[in-house]
Amino acid sequence: MNQEKIATKPNLKKRIGAGLIDYSLMFGMTLVMFLYFGEKTSTGYGLHGFPALANTLMWCAYMIGFELKFGGTLGNLVFDLQVISIKDSNTTSLTLGQSFKRHLLDMLDLWFFGLLGILLIKNTKYNQRLGDIWAKTIVIDSKDSTQFCKRFV
């Protein structure tokens, strides 16, 4: 029978800093796409066709790809944060589905300057935001030995 021992902390300052780095990069990439490929519409500018698809693919490559390859986005890595799986298995590595679920709910977690995400991080058992709860993941400080997820068989 698998048994888990999980210890986390909110790491709010680090998580907010990581989020600022990640979404500044995403905003910058999107701004470049609008500047070079945006089309003027009656309500402002829009991306259509391949540029809109490319923007979505860049988001996936950065947010999901970095997590799968390195255990976190660039922002997470700068602040020594690691995203790990707490699903029933023998590994703490993320799956594609888990990373996708985490980031699919980013807009809800970031709603009203991140208020929902912050409230959930401060008030859930494993300091998870909505995306983490759905994906069965946690975020730990990889330099803090008091934060971990260990499995015993």
Distance CA 89, CA 131 (A): 19
Total number of residues shown for the chain: 153
Average pLDDT over residues 14-28: 96
Whole-number pLDDT of residue 1: 47
- What percent of the residues of the chain are helix, what percent strand, and what percent coil, each to the nearest 5? 55, 15, 30
Q: Is the pLDDT of residue 152 over 70?
A: no
How many folded domains does the chain comprise? 1
As to burial, measured by CB atoms within 10 angstroms (0-12 exposed, 13-18 middle, 19+ buried), residue 125 is: exposed
Provide the whole-model pTM: 0.89
Residues 67-81 pLDDT 10s = 999 999 999 999 999
pLDDT at residue 57 is higher than 70: yes
Stated as kind and residue range, the H or E segment containing 7 is strand 3-7
CA-nearest of 138, 144, 151, 145 to 72 is 138
pLDDT digits (tens, 9 = 90+) for 28-45: 999 999 999 999 888 888
pLDDT digits (tens, 9 = 90+) for 102-145: 999 999 998 898 999 999 999 999 999 999 999 999 999 999 99
Q: Is the dihedral of CA 18, 23, 26, 28 positive or negative?
A: negative
pLDDT for residue 12 is more than 80: yes
**Containing domain of residue 126, as a range?**
3-152
